[in-house]
Structure 1
Amino acid sequence: MREVVVTGIGVILPNCDSREVLWEQLRTGSSQLELEHDEVFPDGVCAIGRVRDFDPAKYFEELPERFYRGYHRELQLYLAAFLRARDDARLDLGRLSPERIGIFDGSARTMFQFWYDRIRAEDPSDPDTRYSRRDLMTGLPGQAVGIAASLFKIMGPTYTFSGSCAAGAIALGHAYREIALGEIDVAFAGGHEASLVRPMFMMYSDANLLSLERTDAKRAVRPYAGYSTNAFGEGAVLMVLESAEHAAARGAPALARVLGYKSGNNGYHPTTVDVAGVRPTEIMKSLIGSAGLEPDAIDVVAGHGNAVQLSDVSEENYMRLVFGKRSSEVPLISTKPIYGHLLGASSALNAAAVALMVAHDCVIPTINFDVKKLKRAANHQPNTCEDRPVHHGVAMSYGMGGYNAALLIGKAA
């Protein structure tokens, strides 16, 4: 098995389009959520993590305008993050073997907004609203990777994984395996999501899974104590993974190493989590053990942390089962108060956050945490970051449908 390293991170998120800004917002706990007032929300107002004022021309200078102007905004967000990741890794794709590069994407509701908007615009009496071959191409779920491969002449494996909120982690895990096994040398992997439309808010509101915060958007998500439930965001998070040998040969510094990936289903109920945390515990212990480590080697866990009580309790339970008395020493943090719940991209954001914490020896905070509600056997790094050695971290994700996916990330050699 070959060693796999992270050499670049590309993001398009609310008020964030670089690795440097991403780290600053995570480190300082700077929430990018804002209140929106619109009749599309169940009661007219909602906290949202929306990418505003997105201009594709800023990111696609090297491409003819006709190549991207006709693409739906979701595809543009993904492609912009792809280019940011490429440039952050200092990759010259023209100098690499195209069949040795792969693209792995994860999305919970890919093209959901496209088809919602398209169907609403349908008018049988207006020939201009008829479906066309462009809808056939750009509206195909999973087409983001196909378009990226076409634009940048990539000929290796391309996949889109739909594993609910764990989709981004699943994509990263499969990219890791393909590189570790020697099938490819370079992978663009992560997740994207852009589905902030009326049906989303109606469904989650009906399930009592939408935050009721209507005064301060930045406090809309309060995990592990406040149980506020979700506020949603959008964007794309991609990481460049390479074999360590390939990265060294081109002189690329590694941000971190990917040391393992495990996934599994609860096998219980499609919408209910394993509240006791038993199945996630098995997955995390297997992940750590397969890398030849003990739980004592883990310095931080980026959890699902969606502020839904059953999920949050499940995570605190697996922390106790995996780490025992150390559960009060190992921070279980959440990134969702910063950008909102990114659905399929949220688990990719967790992986990027762990890679950056390892690279910077700093544990980012779980903001909006009421320290008076901290459980004795828990540690959520409340409200402020802490500079401390971070040698190994786990990015853990849950997904509706019983999904669990975990990535183990360590310090670059």
Structure 2
Amino acid sequence: MGKRVVVTGLGAVSGMGNCLGEIWNAAKNGDSGIDKITRFDCSGFPAKCASEVKDFNLSDYMYVNERHRMDRFSQYAIASSVMAVEDSRLTIGVDVPPDRVGVWMGTAIGGIESFEDTHRQLLEGGYERVYPFATTLVISNMASSQVAIALNAKGVNNCTVLSCASGSNAIGDAMRVIQSGEADIMIAGGTEASITPLGIGAFCAMGAISPQGDPKAACRPFDRNRDGLVMGEGAGALVLETFESAIRRNAPVYGEIIGYGTVGDAYHITSPVPGGEGCVRAMEMAFAQSGVLKSDIDYINAHGTSTILNDRDETKAIQTFFGEKAYDIPVSSTKSMTGHMMGASGAVEAILTFMTMKTGVILPTLNLIERDPECDLDYVPNLPRFKEVNFALSNSLGFGGHNTVLIFKALS
């Protein structure tokens, strides 16, 4: 299995708050970040709701004059990473050489806001009006690169683009980098800022976004009346390091990453394999690495998008893999509060899962009023639950048939 990899720092930005403390307090109280779209005029769009980051103060994390050099998705990545490093009590260059610290960020869409702005500039004034560094605003690897520049992290630097599984894969791949000895510490996570006319419009055209105008009814994972996802934005970052490094630094430890499984469906560009066969294989892979038993799992953070196919087939995958044990495991979709943060989802959900293990608070699935008969697990409806969680599993599933599973362990 290689070196033990623990998590020593957490940082996040979302529609529920601009730091982990705000997000966690809102989540455990069941306060959703989903509200009416204000980022642009959506009157001509079926979608009316999203989970937007609000009152984000960029100057807390960088010089404001640097803002024009990066898209919003990179700004969120820097903010969450700075918070995670501070939370870890890590000083790069003192506790560890910069070339032993790496960055691995995931994003599904990248700098779509800058892409739209640049296209507008091109149409209005030709290429002479285009910002000279427009390419560096748009390309997906810029979040990882900008985080490295901001923190002086000179080690392995990579970017994962695997749709809605991107954040989880970034964490799993960063874990492998540490286990292989290529880095001592990795800053890993996901980021997204796709609440734009094109970002929302494309999902509307696909019929994937809920048309509900009521923010409290728009995102309802596993409910009989669910009718689509709700877009979210933000970022989540985790500091990963070897257990030995954490002990040597006397760093806070949230828990350990013990299993990572990632496979492809090879089936369809948007629809999961009926029955969730790919998710089952990803769970098998993660469990084989972790060494834990199915009976050890105390909680599952589901992908739970509030779409008809995902919720049904993810439920079937959990039932298939765990058998009767599936009905004893609390399962919740925190997307009911954060919205679907696309490439940031897996990272923020991993963070919330580590907080569940730390506090014993299992977050609820909001707006679950009328259960779908095909979704018959214990989804912790509407109210949090209190339970000791020593082992937890997090699912992330993405367009293109990506299935990613992470298994976490509380530090004993």
Tell me the TM-score range normalised by the shorter chain. over 0.9
1:10/1:17 contact within 8 Å kept: no
Which residue of structure 2 aligns with residue 333 of structure 1?
332
Distance 1:220 1:260 in 2: 33
Which residue of structure 2 aligns with residue 353 of structure 1?
352
Which residue of structure 2 aligns with residue 33 of structure 1?
34
Distance 2:47 2:371 in 1: 29
Which residue of structure 1 aligns with residue 112 of structure 2?
112
The worse-fitting range, judged by mean Cα deviation, of 286-295 and 248-257 is 286-295
Distance 2:108 2:397 in 1: 12
Distance 1:353 1:174 in 2: 19
Distance 2:71 2:200 in 1: 21
| TM value normalised by structure 1 | 0.93
CA distance 1:404–1:66, shift in 2 (3 Å): same
2:107/2:161 contact within 8 Å kept: yes
CA distance 1:126–1:184, shift in 2 (3 Å): closer
Which residue of structure 2 aligns with residue 283 of structure 1?
282
User: Aligned pair 1:137/2:139, yes or no?
Assistant: no
What amino acid is aligned across from residue 343 of structure 2 in structure 1?
G
What amino acid is aligned across from residue 160 of structure 1 in structure 2?
C
Distance 1:162 1:8 in 2: 23
What is the 5 A alignment of 1:299-318?
A: 299-318=298-317
The alignment partner of 1:232 has SS state of coil
Which residue of structure 2 aligns with residue 52 of structure 1?
54
The worse-fitting range, judged by mean Cα deviation, of 148-157 and 312-321 is 148-157
The worse-fitting range, judged by mean Cα deviation, of 120-129 and 281-290 is 120-129
How far off its partner does 1:380 sit?
0.3
How far off its partner does 1:266 sit?
0.7
2:47/2:212 contact within 8 Å kept: no
What amino acid is aligned across from residue 60 of structure 2 in structure 1?
K
User: Aligned pair 1:21/2:19, yes or no?
Assistant: no
User: Aligned pair 1:219/2:217, yes or no?
Assistant: yes
Distance 1:178 1:260 in 2: 14
Distance 2:125 2:197 in 1: 25
CA distance 1:152–1:387, shift in 2 (3 Å): same
CA distance 1:300–1:15, shift in 2 (3 Å): closer
How far off its partner does 1:138 sit?
3.2
How far off its partner does 1:202 sit?
2.0
How far off its partner does 1:151 sit?
2.9
CA distance 1:376–1:240, shift in 2 (3 Å): closer
Distance 1:353 1:196 in 2: 22
**Would you say how many aligned residue pairs link Structure 1 and Structure 2?**
408
Distance 1:271 1:126 in 2: 35
Which residue of structure 2 aligns with residue 86 of structure 1?
85
What is the 5 A alignment of 1:55-204?
A: 55-60=57-62, 64-68=63-67, 70-95=69-94, 96-123=96-123, 125=125, 129-132=129-132, 134-204=133-203
What is the 5 A alignment of 1:264-275?
A: 264-275=263-274
CA distance 1:66–1:202, shift in 2 (3 Å): closer
1:328/1:376 contact within 8 Å kept: no
Distance 1:128 1:159 in 2: 32
Distance 1:376 1:116 in 2: 39
2:222/2:371 contact within 8 Å kept: no
CA distance 1:267–1:71, shift in 2 (3 Å): closer
**Percent of aligned pairs sharing the same letter:** 26
The alignment partner of 2:49 has SS state of strand
Distance 1:237 1:169 in 2: 10
Unaligned runs of 5+ in 2: none
The alignment partner of 2:93 has SS state of helix
CA distance 1:259–1:281, shift in 2 (3 Å): same
Distance 2:326 2:318 in 1: 6
User: Aligned pair 1:410/2:412, yes or no?
Assistant: no
> In angstroms, what is the RMSD of aligned CA positions?
2.0
Distance 1:40 1:371 in 2: 29
How far off its partner does 1:371 sit?
5.1
Distance 1:334 1:136 in 2: 35
Distance 1:149 1:193 in 2: 17
1:41/1:198 contact within 8 Å kept: no
1:275/1:311 contact within 8 Å kept: no
CA distance 1:120–1:277, shift in 2 (3 Å): same
The alignment partner of 2:122 has SS state of coil
Unaligned runs of 5+ in 1: none
CA distance 1:143–1:372, shift in 2 (3 Å): closer
2:235/2:344 contact within 8 Å kept: yes
1:301/1:330 contact within 8 Å kept: yes
CA distance 1:262–1:53, shift in 2 (3 Å): same
